[in-house]
Structure 1
Amino acid sequence: MATWSKAASSSSLIILAIFLLSLAGVAHGRSSRRLVRSYDEPCMEMRLYLHDILYDYSNSTSNSTSAAATRPTALSTAAPSAPAGGTFFGQVVVFNDPVTEGRRALPPALEETEVRAQGLYFYNGKEAYNAWFAFSVVFNSTARRGTLNLMGADIIAEKTRDVSVVGGTGDFFMARGVATLRTDAVEGFTYFRLQMDIKLYECYV
């Protein structure tokens, strides 16, 4: 009789645990989601523009959206083929950049932009100007909420370059795909605009 009671008690605990886990899924809004996966056609596409305004000690701190966290190393100018200004090898830049859906002018209050790119890039080319990105695109609007996480090599000399979409949260829960980057505008070393064509091939809808 005691053996039966223990077995019944264990079964009840297992059923209760499954029930609680299902409630947690409903609470997080994932109970009705299904995975859409296709390697021929993307399940979601969007074009966004990232605006980076680098603080260089001469421009306004209120308008800047990125800053160097480290200085370039001596290797940035040591290579025989390095450009006259150096390759910035070893410099790390931290950014919190506004992102827009078009090439429109930036709003006066940059911190109020509903979509932002937050992360870092560092220059890793000893003989050529090259960078590597790791950042999240953060959505905070009535249309979309959540993040997309991107990382990969930004080979600046190439007209277009692909970086991986390695995950996401919220409306982009567990997203996977590719973001094609293209330099859309450059103003000296203090401003650049990247066009990002994002194609997701794994989506939870």
Structure 2
Amino acid sequence: MTASALASVICIMVMLLPAYYAAAAAAPAPAPAAYSHDAYRACKQKAADRILCGPSAFTFYLHNTVYNPTVDNKDYFNSVYGLPPNVTWPNPYSFGTTSTFEDPLTEGPANTSQQIGVAQGLWQLNSKVGYTLFHIFTANITDGDYKGTISILGQIREVDPVRYLTVVGGTGDFLGARGLATNRLVTIDHTAPATWTLSFDLDLYY
């Protein structure tokens, strides 16, 4: 190919490129691949038929016992604190303190109630002007009429008698669940090693 012919080809390509990119931009994006999870499809079919995928209301009680080396309760604890915050000034509300927990969940408020699963997650004291805890955890429900996981996050202010967290997802019988988790303090004992019980009343949507 002569130099003049090559120059002509390049000129034609330069002129055609804008039209090519304009057509590509106008073309519709390819449809996403269908999700193949059988349980998901079954749940969506129930939704189309106006049948709930799981319960619309669900309640459980969370029981926490903190590990405290002063009483050495290594045989009966289910939460531990992380390293203290690296501050050198007064920190009256323990801002930055984190706790990891694996708490039993029961169907009733008593410790002796039927256990239906465990809650695994963490909370952090995230306010410098009051006791405010940011919670994020998964409730693993393994016994009872419904089984699966429920993912919950949100903020708890200790001074509030009623607190509201968000249900952001679920699996199993709770697949795709979202909604509101209403939280209340049932009991608390500050005596070492410190224990408390929280209730969670869930309003769920699928």
The alignment covers a number of residue pairs equal to 166
- Offset, 1:70: 2.4
Counterpart of 1:180?
A: 182
Q: Contact 1:168/1:175 (CA < 8 Å) preserved in 2?
A: yes
Higher-RCO chain (CA-CA 8 Å, sequence separation at least 6): 1
1:139 aligns with 2:141: yes
Q: Contact 1:75/1:89 (CA < 8 Å) preserved in 2?
A: no
Any idea what SS the aligned residue of 1:89 has?
Answer: coil
1:31 aligns with 2:33: no
1:48 aligns with 2:40: no
What is the correspondence of 1:9-20 to structure 2 with a 5 Å cutoff?
none
> Structure 1 CA distance, aligned partners of 2:103 and 2:195?
11
Specify which of 68, 73, 82 is matched with residue 69 of structure 1. 82
Counterpart of 1:167?
A: 169
Structure 1 outlier segments of 4+, above 4 Å:
none
- Offset, 1:76: 7.8
- Offset, 1:182: 0.7
Q: Deviations over 1:124-154 (max 9, x none)?
A: 1212111100001001125222100000111
Counterpart of 1:156?
A: 158
Gaps of 5+ in 2: 1-32
Paired AA for residue 53 in structure 1 = T
Specify which of 185, 194, 202 is matched with residue 198 of structure 1. 202
> Structure 2 CA distance, aligned partners of 1:197 and 1:134?
16
Q: Which protein is bigger by CA-based radius of gyration?
A: 2
TM-score of the aligned structures, taking structure 2 as reference length: 0.71
Q: Sequence identity of aligned pairs in percent? A: 27
Counterpart of 2:23?
A: none
TM-score of the aligned structures, taking structure 1 as reference length: 0.71
> Structure 1 CA distance, aligned partners of 2:170 and 2:72?
34
Specify which of 106, 116, 130 is matched with residue 128 of structure 1. 130
Paired AA for residue 59 in structure 2 = R
With over 3 angstroms needed to count, the CA separation of the structure-2 counterparts of 1:47 and 1:31, relative to structure 1, is closer
Q: Deviations over 1:155-187 (max 9, x none)?
A: 111111100000001110010100011111110
Specify which of 87, 99, 103 is matched with residue 105 of structure 2. 99
